Structure 1
Amino acid sequence: MSANPPAAVPPAGPAPGRAFTAVVNPSAGGSAATAILVPLARALREAGAEVAVEYSRDLAHAAALARDAAGRGHVVLGVGGDGMVGCVGGALAGTEAVLGIVPAGRGNDFARQLGVPSDPAGLAALFLEGEPRAVDAVEANGVPVLGSVYAGVDAVANRNANRTRLRGSAAYTVGALRAVLAWRPADYRITVDGAVLDRRGYTVVAANSGFYGFGRHIAPGARVDDGLLDVVVIRDAPRLLFFAVMRELSDGSHVRRPQVEVLRGREVRIELLTPGRTLPYGADGELPGELPVTARIMPGALRVLAPR
């Protein structure tokens, strides 16, 4: 923690007797995490709440810390970006535990979808006074995640962004540019609730949340509480056209293009048909493995403090 923390945020209101454990990714957001967490913890304590802070060594440790805190009846705060929030939320999915999101990473896309505030005062008010909301999660090859599962040029861009020293949107922009310039179209087999489609293109996204990749609105119709995945397929197109599609991801208007196909279902399997080729799949900003991947919706599996 900083020796000279920012000024305290005024208490958000009468404390409802909640106890919190913040599970922190020390590397996510760097000093940004401290800048949010210090005044947030102070505001919660001044309102009478109990606050513990735990620093994780890695994602597996973060999941264990989250389950331990939930077992003690604490609201678990995931402090970091989408990878940390997805890990902590995934560890709590299917239980009665409550998650709070402290957006302190590069993307913060699940927090963006839920409308979670990013300032300490707004977070304190939400955590002290908000009621848990049931949202869907996704099981990807048996592992619970929150936002989306994607397999294509975006997963390669994700890998590039994770390897760069750049921060924020610059990491995703440069990573995506490098991925697109080197991309060779992939042949996919996509099975949505038993219906089989073969497609050639740039990516397949099974989205619970509408946002990914630092605010790109990949699935504007996606809802986190409808019990469905929005499956977005970006089919093969000239690179110049794909760059136009990338620009349109900022507002979701790409879905009007004929090269973009949107399906919906409860279970999606994505396979790569290109012989001798491997392709990573991404989930919540992490890269858990390579295709194939099966994504299944987990309706109402997570209780989270978020605006309704």
Structure 2
Amino acid sequence: MRQFTAVVNPSAGGATGTAALLPLARLLRQAGAQLDTQYSNSLEHAREIALKAAEQGHIVLAVGGDGIVGCVGGALSGTEAVLGIVPAGRGNDFARALGLPNDPSALAKLLLKGTPRRIDTIAVESAAHTRTVVLGSVYAGVDALANRHANTSRLLRGSASYYAGGLRAVATWWAADFRITVDGVSRERRGYTVVAANSAYYGFGRLIAPDALLDNGLLDVVIIREAPKRLFFTIMNELKTGAHINRPEIEVLRGKEVRIEADREIPYGADGEVDNVLPMTARVQPGALRVLC
């Protein structure tokens, strides 16, 4: 029978990670599995818990939103440890990309009987040469600013916080001159944002890169070029279905390594948590993580 260590973000999104874990924990224990629950007080603490559990041969459950999932998954990347995900955050975009069930019974069955699948991860190197491993995507520009606003919102939760954050970010944004280098080939583009995507989803279910695959050893690089702000909001609405991909203002590249630079201080984020400024380099790590999905 499998042994699990749950790494819990106590206050993921508006609901608590604890509340999401309780019905699942009961089902796992009823089936005979062992479950140790650990509460993290920071992302660094979550990494430490995950690595210690992996050394003991446990399946590591990331309980929370994309931030803690990316943190725990990044810590386990490059090891033979297995990651399980209990979605309990605002966006849960990586869980969505994996097709994970929300129903506790279905999720318990998957965790107890599922076969691990190898997926790619992303190594992100900042201007200060610090290295972080994430799972879903790295995004630079107005969407990183919008995500910052959403994360700091005290009044709104869920999709409302992302929508309000987007409105606030676009209202004060002007197009930036990006240099985007994909597998050694550089391009100059003026636009709103650049996304290096391993997962199709980001920003609370927005289908930013419809053709992105988690196990093809490549990143889809989506560029939203300069456009009137009224059109930008139309494009943002089309992200719900992926229809934006057919617009001339959208360009999609694909490669193993992506470097993004800009003409001014531009923020970038990753998996909803990393908050830094360009330049940065993202490299795909093929098949680096085993995950139950």
Class of the TM-score when normalised by the shorter of the 2 chains: over 0.9
Mapped pair 1:305 → 2:292: yes
Deviation at residue 33 of structure 1 after TM alignment: 2.4
Mapped pair 1:225 → 2:209: no
- Partner of 1:232, secondary structure, is strand
CA contact (8 A) 2:10 2:16 kept: no
CA contact (8 A) 1:36 1:119 kept: no
Given the superposition, is the C-alpha separation of residues 30 and 170 from structure 1 closer, same or farther in structure 2, using an over 3 Å criterion? Answer: closer
Mapped pair 1:289 → 2:273: no
2:146 matched residue in structure 1 = 157
Deviation at residue 77 of structure 1 after TM alignment: 0.2
2:91 matched residue in structure 1 = 107
Could you list the per-position Cα deviations for residues 90-136 of structure 1 after superposition, in whole angstroms to 9, with x for gaps in the alignment? 00000000000100000100000000111211110100010000000
Q: Amino acid of the residue matched to residue 181 of structure 2?
A: T
Unaligned runs of 5+ in 1: 1-16
CA contact (8 A) 1:155 1:287 kept: no
- Partner of 1:241, secondary structure, is helix
2:58 matched residue in structure 1 = 74
CA contact (8 A) 1:24 1:54 kept: yes
Q: Under a length normalisation based on structure 1, what TM-score does the superposition of the two structures give?
A: 0.92
- Give the number of equivalent residue pairs: 287
Alpha-carbon distance in 2 for matches of 1:221, 1:182 = 31
2:205 matched residue in structure 1 = 215
Mapped pair 1:204 → 2:191: no
2:237 to 243, 247, 258: 247
2:128 matched residue in structure 1 = none
Alpha-carbon distance in 1 for matches of 2:8, 2:150 = 21
Q: Amino acid of the residue matched to residue 269 of structure 2?
A: G
Deviation at residue 289 of structure 1 after TM alignment: 1.3
Mapped pair 1:185 → 2:172: no
Identity of aligned residues (%): 66
Alpha-carbon distance in 1 for matches of 2:135, 2:15 = 25
Q: Amino acid of the residue matched to residue 169 of structure 1?
A: S
Alpha-carbon distance in 2 for matches of 1:278, 1:159 = 15
Alpha-carbon distance in 2 for matches of 1:70, 1:119 = 26
Q: Under a length normalisation based on structure 2, what TM-score does the superposition of the two structures give?
A: 0.97
Q: How does 1:89-100 map to 2 (within 5 A)?
A: 89-100=73-84
2:134 matched residue in structure 1 = 145
- Partner of 1:34, secondary structure, is helix
CA contact (8 A) 1:148 1:212 kept: yes
Q: Amino acid of the residue matched to residue 208 of structure 2?
A: I
Alpha-carbon distance in 2 for matches of 1:29, 1:170 = 12
- Partner of 1:213, secondary structure, is coil
Alpha-carbon distance in 1 for matches of 2:261, 2:254 = 17
Could you list the per-position Cα deviations for residues 121-158 of structure 1 after superposition, in whole angstroms to 9, with x for gaps in the alignment? 11101000100000000001121100000001000001
Deviation at residue 30 of structure 1 after TM alignment: 4.7
Q: Amino acid of the residue matched to residue 294 of structure 1?
A: T
1:280 matched residue in structure 2 = 267
Deviation at residue 35 of structure 1 after TM alignment: 2.9
Q: Amino acid of the residue matched to residue 67 of structure 2?
A: G
Alpha-carbon distance in 2 for matches of 1:33, 1:156 = 26
